[in-house]
């Protein structure tokens, strides 16, 4: 059985009050045995509410970013140490919006991955190409570069997750085709096997993200090297996210 994870990235959406309402509804509808396969990445302002809402469930959660140091004079940043104290399990890093809008690079992201693992939390690394890079046939090389810098700085045998999110499929309604997803996910798995050996490589979840909806999730999940999803827009409604998790 391949490992499975369904992750939600709420981005800059939902107030603490909306967060609480969402989780009350979600927990009442989510089958118990599915809970430990689900992870929510909520905005920083909803972290404490999320911690309180999910503490009696098996649902996992974390922040959408963290800083590469635990504390100090870093105005406005988020500490992975605080995530740990609040009971988070995962931290999302390297999202394309962080790379593009906030100019994060592979090295900086790998440093965050190292710190997150040192706290026994699980980093979820986002990778993926822009449309321009895809058109220039650079997709696989870009993904390889993003992965290689990361595995050089983390302990690849400790838990971590990859989310392949082609930038052109994020929030556009333009989901990658099964063939496009298969090509990249197979490439990533083979790269991991070659670099880390089969046993470690098969434990690593490779999620797909980019316009995942209830009506396209089932087909993509059937691909051998798709271990679940990282869902943006469709994770904001209880019923649509739950449908994806039940695919």
> Catalytic positions, please?
95, 165
Q: Is 171 in the site for ligand 13P (CB under 6 A)?
A: yes
Q: Is 214 in the site for ligand 13P (CB under 6 A)?
A: no
User: Helix, strand, or coil here: 227?
Assistant: coil
Task: Please answer whether residues 180 and 225 qualify as being in contact, where contact means their C-beta atoms are separated by less than 8 angstroms.
Answer: no
Give the nearest residue (CB) to ligand 13P. Answer: 232
Q: Is 88 in the site for ligand 13P (CB under 6 A)?
A: no
Whole-angstrom distance, CA of residue 53 vs CA of residue 179 = 39
Whole-angstrom distance, CA of residue 146 vs CA of residue 187 = 13
| Residue with Cβ nearer ligand 13P (62 or 232) | 232
Bridge partners of residue 60, in order along the sequence: 39
Beta carbon of residue 10, minimum distance to ligand 13P (angstroms, whole number): 9
Which is it for strands 60-63 and 90-93: parallel, antiparallel or unpaired?
parallel
Out of 192, 212, 217, 220, point to the residue binding ligand 13P (CB under 6 A). Answer: 212
Paired tokens of 226: 């798709």
Q: Is 206 in the site for ligand 13P (CB under 6 A)?
A: no
Phi/psi for 228 (5° steps) reads 140, -165
Beta carbon of residue 224, minimum distance to ligand 13P (angstroms, whole number): 22
| Residue with Cβ nearer ligand 13P (65 or 201) | 65
DSSP letter (8 states) at residue 210: S
Residue 238, H or E segment? helix 238-245
Whole-angstrom distance, CA of residue 100 vs CA of residue 58 = 33
Beta carbon of residue 56, minimum distance to ligand 13P (angstroms, whole number): 27
| Residue with Cβ nearer ligand 13P (192 or 231) | 231
| Residue with Cβ nearer ligand 13P (62 or 233) | 233
- Among the listed residues 235, 230, 183, the one whose alpha carbon sits nearest the alpha carbon of residue 207: 230
| Residue with Cβ nearer ligand 13P (69 or 243) | 243
Count, residues near ligand 13P per rule CB under 6 A: 14
Residues 11-70 that bind ligand 13P (CB under 6 A): none
- 119 to 158: interface string for ligand 13P, x by CB under 6 A: ----------------------------------------
Phi/psi for 79 (5° steps) reads -95, 130
| Residue with Cβ nearer ligand 13P (201 or 228) | 228
Q: Is 231 in the site for ligand 13P (CB under 6 A)?
A: yes
The alpha carbon of 96 is separated from its chain's Cα centroid by a whole number of angstroms, namely 11
| Burial label, 10 (beta-carbon count in 10 A; 0-12, 13-18, 19+) | buried
Q: Is 165 in the site for ligand 13P (CB under 6 A)?
A: yes
Binding interface with ligand 13P (CB under 6 A): 9, 95, 165, 170-171, 209-212, 230-234
């Amino acid at each position: 059985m391949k490992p499975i994870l369904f992750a939600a990235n709420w981005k800059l959406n939902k107030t603490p009050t909306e967060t609480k309402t969402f989780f009350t509804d979600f927990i009442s509808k989510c089958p118990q045995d599915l809970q430990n396969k689900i992870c929510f990445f909520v905005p920083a302002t909803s972290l404490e509410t999320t911690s309180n809402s999910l503490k009696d469930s098996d649902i996992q959660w974390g922040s959408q970013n963290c800083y590469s140091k635990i504390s100090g004079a870093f105005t406005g940043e988020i500490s992975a140490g605080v995530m740990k104290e609040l009971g988070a399990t995962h931290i999302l890093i390297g999202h394309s919006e962080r790379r593009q809008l906030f100019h994060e690079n592979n090295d900086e992201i790998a440093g965050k991955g190292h710190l997150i693992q040192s706290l026994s939390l699980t980093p979820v690394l986002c990778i993926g190409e822009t449309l321009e890079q895809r058109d220039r046939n650079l997709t696989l090389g870009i993904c390889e570069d993003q992965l290689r810098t990361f595995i050089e700085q983390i302990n690849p045998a400790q838990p971590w997750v990859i989310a392949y999110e082609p930038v052109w499929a994020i929030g556009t309604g333009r989901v990658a085709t099964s063939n496009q997803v298969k090509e990249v996910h197979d490439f990533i798995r083979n790269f991991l096997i070659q670099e880390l050996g089969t046993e470690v490589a098969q434990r690593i979840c490779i999620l797909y993200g980019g316009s995942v909806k209830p009506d396209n999730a089932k087909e993509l999940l059937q691909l051998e090297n798709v271990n679940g999803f990282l869902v943006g827009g469709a994770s904001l409604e209880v019923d649509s996210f739950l449908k994806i998790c039940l695919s």
